[in-house]
Amino acid sequence: MKKINFGAGPCILPQSVFDLAAEAVFDFDHLGLSILEMSHRSQAFVDIMEEARSLVLELMDLDASTYTALFLHGGASQQFAMIPYNFLKKSAAYIDTGVWSQKAISEAEKVGRVETIASSKEDGYKSIPSNIQIEHAYDYVHLTSNNTIYGTQFDTFPSFDETPVIADMSSDIFSRLRNYAAFDLIYAGAQKNIGPAGTTLVVIKKDFLRQVNELNRFKFLDYNAHIKAESMLNTPTVFSIFVSLLNLRWIKDRGLTSIFSENQQKASLLYDTLEKTEWILPFAEPSSRSSMNVTFTIPDASHAALFDSYCKKHDLHGLKGHRFIGGYRASLYNALSLSSVKILTDLIDEVNTHV
């Protein structure tokens, strides 16, 4: 029996995507070859790459004449270094909302001057900073749209006039309608709402590329080199990109409006249940709560043990919180059904009858 997966990533994908990916492992498109053994230079894979990159821009409602999409190696963590390597000349502004933005700041500081213009560190990252403004010009502003560890999320984004804006959207990309055109660069590790672990999506505004640092010495860290090679500067992550394409097709078929509506229903159902349960404490502040990662604690050990036993009994997987803050975390990514969340909330109600 398949478990209900609330894991933060690598995470759940649609069953239809699993089925199609499994078929391709044995025989891709009746070619007599597995997707795992196909050349990345074959026309079959070139078509996969081109469709995946095109579909990304379509889902973001971005014009290919203005933006370009890449599938790269290294996860979002490599982007922490690539971004300042390419674009940090005088100074960059970063918004600190937790571990992942801190890691991005740490890498950028090795390249040049970095200013943290807003932070929620003082409240333990339970909220998104408010009234975020910049006082002078920067090479760019960097933010993390959703914070998986703490369960916080930008509902709307601040505006910075003419300053380029970069967003790490690893954990909430394609989970809702966004004005993606408000950003000059967007990046996301695949293993949440895009596909399996192994590839990283980067979407860049072509005008922003004019600001690339001319002193770049490492070809593999140069966005222009990857664009020129059409995401094939070296052997790409063939299987991960293929499965990402399958999932992107699934997102298109469902539509972002429908996906966003169901994600809101899932989050509302779970948060409402947590709020009315006396032995559970939600972690994030209400105004900053994520629709993707719902974090909470169970202070009483006996209640926690009973909850854990019920989760095991009902085959609920991946609810353990991140090691930095402990507690619990239910990740409600696109492929997790509303009925799965209902099983969790019913379980909490059932525990209530025994405490």
User: Across-strand partners of 294?
Assistant: 330
Integer Cα distance of 43 and 29 in angstroms: 12
Closest CA to 243 of 52, 75, 59, 74: 52
**C-alpha torsion angle, residues 146, 148, 151, 157 (rounded to 10):** -10
DSSP for residue 321: P
User: Of the residues 96, 184, 192, 266, which is catalytic?
Assistant: 192
Count other C-beta atoms under 10 Å from residue 258's C-beta. 11
Check if 100 is active-site.
yes
Burial environment of residue 231 by CB neighbours within 10 A (0 to 12, 13 to 18, 19 or more): buried
Q: Could you tell me which residues come within 8 angstroms of residue 143 by beta carbon, excluding any fewer than 6 positions away?
A: 94, 95, 97, 101, 154, 157, 165, 166, 167, 168
User: Of the residues 139, 168, 184, 222, which is catalytic?
Assistant: 168
* Farthest-apart Cα atoms in the chain, separation: 65
Cis peptide before 10 (omega within 30 of 0): yes
Integer Cα distance of 45 and 201 in angstroms: 17
Integer Cα distance of 254 and 334 in angstroms: 10
Helix (H, G, I), strand (E, B) or coil at 138: coil
Phi/psi class of residue 98: alpha, beta or left (left: φ > 0; alpha: ψ in -120 to 50)? left
Q: Which backbone phi and psi does 87 adopt, to 5 degrees?
A: -120, -15
User: Across-strand partners of 167?
Assistant: 143, 186
Helix (H, G, I), strand (E, B) or coil at 25: helix
Check if 168 is active-site.
yes
User: Of the residues 96, 100, 126, 184, which is catalytic?
Assistant: 100
Catalytic residues: 100, 168, 192
